[in-house]
Amino acid sequence: MLTLIVGGFFGDEGKGKISAYVSLAKSYDYAVRTGAINAGHTVVFRSRKFKLRVVSAGFVNEKTKLIIPPGALIRLDVFFNEVKELGVENRVMVDYNTGIIEAIHVERERSDSVLASIGSTFQGVGAAMSDRVLRRLRLARDFKELEKYLCDAPFILNKALDRGEKVLVEGTQGTFLSLYHGTYPYVTSRDTTAPALLSEAGIGPKRVSEVIVVFKAYVTRVGEGPLDGELNYEEAVKRGWIEKGTVTGRPRRVAPFNFELARKSIMLNSATQIALTKLDALFPEVKGVRSWDKLPSEAKKWIEEIESVLKIPVTLIGTGEEVEEIVDRTRELGMEL
Ligand code: GTP
Ligand code: IMP
Ligand code: MG
């Protein structure tokens, strides 16, 4: 079984938490983290907070093997620190062709006026990506210190699927930060949609079982670019919607849930299920609730409206920061995960 987890808005929808839950509760054999170190996934697991920039949030399941695919871009120091902090040395693998970001890429971005104008995270990702396009980026296979982690990720993942094992591919950022489908030029340096997750991992489209699009109960955006219905800072604080970026610490801009964007996102990703995070930010009384029956009727009504407008089921509902603070409706809705 192959499941893709993709961001439906502008990133930071909570893919990390959803990926952690799915890997743990549905016993995934492999978890693949696409994208690069500009994206941070926050995972709160059994009272510990992890900020992940390289390794999939699926690490919370100790049996899950962790793959960094050829389309990802990592930095060696970030990789080694994270692997050590998580204690996953024996189950993390890096593809031979994974791109490596070096100090020179970060330096090059710092003096770039276009990147400054779009509110880049300045992590060197775009500079490294452009070197890759020009065929001058060094890859994981060029670094002796990575030797013991190197693997052929597409081969491993396709073989696992042949054996009937479960593979999860975790996206980074969101659909409207996509280089092709986003609000260009206010976008990141890669395609962030479901088809791109497959291409980064080296798996073909016919193998996909489920595509979970993650929406937060409201929309957030860091950096510049259009944000319809944006609330001013005071209103965002009043509603309790203010968040800080995982990598840069910048406050996130906020707007109410956007059905038009959600509809487009479902189309671009061929999404089959919705994971809706932070329901507790809209309805504080749902904090920690784990069953549909215990949700207040107002909250249930809102979710049913989402399903009736968007025409796919809301299978996972986040009710708190902790990985296990979730309402899991997959079984009652007859959906596989
Ligand atoms: P990117 O790849 O950078 O787009 O990140 P992401 O989608 O993994 O999201 P990120 O972790 O950066 O931001 C989501 C924030 O919401 C984190 O602080 C999570 O801990 C938090 N979060 C996720 N789900 C829930 C939820 O259901 N309730 C609450 N209260 N917080 C949540
Ligand atoms: P860059 O890709 O780091 O150059 O950033 C380009 C744009 O994408 C900026 O608006 C960033 O704020 C945004 N961005 C990059 N990574 C993330 C992320 O992980 N979450 C949310 N926004 C991001
Ligand atoms: Mg993030």
For 123-156, the pLDDT digits (tens) are 999 999 999 999 999 999 999 999 999 999 999 9
From 222, 243, 244, mutation site for ligand 2 pocket: most ligand atoms within 8 A of C-beta: 222
Give residues (CB < 6 A) around ligand 1. Answer: 7, 11-17, 39-42, 44, 172-174, 246, 277-278, 280-281, 318-321
12 belongs to the catalytic site: yes
Q: What is the pLDDT of residues 214-258, one digit of tens each?
A: 999 999 999 999 999 999 999 999 999 988 877 788 889 999 999
Percent of residues, the chain, with pLDDT higher than 90: 96
In this prediction, residue 56 has a pLDDT band, given cuts at 50, 70 and 90, of: very high
Smallest-distance ligand from the CA of 43: 1
Residue whose CA is at the smallest distance from ligand 1 atom 22: 321
How does DSSP classify residue 82?
Answer: H
Q: At what angle do helices 103-110 and 125-133 cross, to 10 degrees?
A: 110
For residue 249, the SS3 value is coil
Residue 6 has which token pair?
């993709």
Q: CATH topology for 2-97+148-328?
A: Adenylosuccinate Synthetase; Chain A, domain 1 (3.40.440)
The chain-wide mean pLDDT, for the chain, equals 97
29 belongs to the catalytic site: no
From 177, 186, 189, 214, mutation site for ligand 2 pocket: most ligand atoms within 8 A of C-beta: 177
Residue 248, pLDDT score: 81
Sign of CA dihedral 79, 149, 144, 133: negative
pTM of structure: 0.98
User: Which residue carries 């595509």 as its tokens?
Assistant: 211
**CA 153, CA 273: separation in Å to the nearest integer?**
26
Phi, psi dihedral angles at 192 (to 5 degrees):
-105, 5
Secondary structure of 160-205 in the HEC alphabet?
Answer: HHHCCCCEEEEEEEEHHHCCCCCCCCCCCCCCCCHHHHHHHHCCCH
| 170 bridge partner residues | 5, 33
220 CA distance to ligand 2 centroid (A)? 12
Residue 246, pLDDT score: 75
Residue 244, pLDDT score: 82
User: Do 201 and 56 touch, CB atoms closer than 8 A?
Assistant: no
Residue 247, pLDDT score: 79
Residue 55 has pLDDT above 80, yes or no: yes
Q: What is the pLDDT of residues 63-91, one digit of tens each?
A: 999 999 999 999 999 999 999 999 999 99
**CA 6, CA 314: separation in Å to the nearest integer?**
14
Residue 115 has pLDDT above 90, yes or no: yes
User: Do 19 and 5 touch, CB atoms closer than 8 A?
Assistant: yes
Residue 171 has pLDDT above 80, yes or no: yes
| 237 bridge partner residues | none
Helix ranges, the chain (H): 15-25, 76-86, 103-110, 113-118, 125-133, 153-162, 194-201, 233-239, 259-269, 279-282, 297-310
